[in-house]
Amino acid sequence: MNNPIKRIGLILGFLFLFPALFFTAIEINSINESERVLENIYSNQLETILLSVNRFSDDVLNSWANDLESKNAFNNSNSFSYQLEDFFKNKRSLQNIFLTDTSYSRFTFFNNNNASSKDEIVNLLKSSQNKIEKLYNYITSGYRKLEPLSNDSLGINCVVYIVEQNGRKFLLGFLINPDEFINSVLAPKIQEVARDDIVIRTTRTKDNNLIYTTDKFFNDKPIETQKEFWLFPNYQIGITLKGESLENIVKSRSYFNLSLLGGLNLLLLIAVIFLFRSIKKEIHLAQLKSEFVSNVSHELRTPLALISMFAETLELGRVKTEEKKNEYYKIISNEAQRLSKIVNSILNFSKMESGKRKYHLEPANLNEVIENVISTYKFHLNSKGFNIELNLTDKLRSSKIDKEAISECLINLIDNGIKYSKDEKKLLISSNQDDEFVYLSVTDFGIGISKEDQKKVFDKFYRVPSNLVHNTKGTGLGLSIVFQIINAHGGKIEVKSEIDKGSTFTLFFPIEK
């Protein structure tokens, strides 16, 4: 039977588990890919927000440059500061503007009080000569570019670009206070793009000092995406979510999806195991039924053959003496009783299986049932060479039982004791009681039952596998019938056994209240 079961197990595993695991692997890969796509999309959205802030700052400075060009302030550097008075209005972040030629020899500030910083500005310009030369190339090509030049010692940021008037080229620079620019110029734009679900923070890179934030309650949250300001290289703009971080959202979603897949796979595995066990049980039951049919056929064939043989012998008048005739009559009677017992056992089992067997419960003394069975069965026991030892408790309390059904249980237990005893032909039958139950025990000193088989002896058609069992007649229904009868009485049954030492079956019945 093991090979078919293994084959069925492999087939079930291949048909159900392999596709499930394959699908799970595909789904896990799909989930990971989806999460990567989601993360990329979200990161791109955050990048877009940061990009819009940077572009806005670039647009502001370009608008300043356009405004200056529209004033034609560069035609006469002597009137440069004069014409910029209106330009500086409402531009608190703009500290100064300077204009210089390509050699830095002619240097003009809007605010002459800041002339002392000319040397620092010139040094900064000279140290950034490569960038400035590119600006001249850009303007020659018709493209104006604003270039930030950073110097921590100045305490302000310098943004320069090339202007051209009347064929002459000048280098114009904005000296800007970045902190003020961010708080007064960029803050409204940052607040606009932040919406209600994200926080945008700007910090100074060298000391990580907070310059501006859209929501002070979330200052402790780590930044998810961070970029430098285009025009202020020493400053950064960062963004984070007010709720869960993107990483936590991705992890949470992945965990949920994987848990769901794991749960479905576990459910499928349990279903496959349950199906496999059910099939295994049905196959085992089919095998037991097959063995039962074989055993019953043999059990029926033997008494029928004996009855037929001895009846034919008597019919043909081949038996001459009365003594021999009586012996044959006795054999025929015994085999008929045996045949009747087998048939009744099968019929009773069938009734119990279909739920049609009725029990007539009435108060009775268990000792009386035991004594009646022993009285009726004594001749049979003696003929088998068995000694019966009774140990019945006096004043046994009554219990509501079906006497006929309990007698059947006791007879089945005695029959088992007879069948499976070897050399020591002895049975011990006892009764006793406790606070809840009265009980009877049948003890034999036969082959015993292993602990593994003790769990199965009450299964229908089950017979303990041993050499003696194979040589012993039986249907495998006796203990199953006993078990069902005891359950119908609201009682319980216990078995204690050791190999080659014998077995004790104890039937418990509730005491009548």
The pLDDT mean for the chain works out to: 79
CA distance 214 to 354: 78
The predicted model gives 501-508 an average pLDDT of 92
Give yes or no for a contact between 215 and 242, defined as CB atoms under 8 angstroms apart: yes
Give the range among 95-99, 302-306, 463-467, 478-482 with minimum mean pLDDT: 463-467
What percentage of the chain exceeds 90 in pLDDT? 11
DSSP line for 366-412: HHHHHHHHHHHHHHHHHHTT-EEEEEPPTTPPPEEE-HHHHHHHHHH
User: Would you say residue 424 has pLDDT above 50?
Assistant: yes
* pLDDT recorded at residue 383: 78
User: Would you say residue 116 has pLDDT above 60?
Assistant: no
The predicted model gives 445-457 an average pLDDT of 85
Report the top-level CATH class of 358-510.
alpha beta
Which residues are CB-contacts of 300 (< 8 A; sequence separation ≥ 6)?
339, 342
334-381 confidence digits (pLDDT tens) = 778 777 777 777 777 676 666 667 888 899 999 999 998 888 778 778
DSSP line for 19-87: HHHHHHHHHHHHHHHHHHHHHHHHHHHHHHHHHHHHHHHHHHHHHHHHHHHHTTTTS-GGGHHHHTTTT
Domain boundaries in the chain?
Answer: 1-243, 358-510
383-405 confidence digits (pLDDT tens) = 788 888 999 998 889 999 989 88
CA distance 245 to 167: 55
| pLDDT bucket at 115, cuts 50 / 70 / 90 | very low
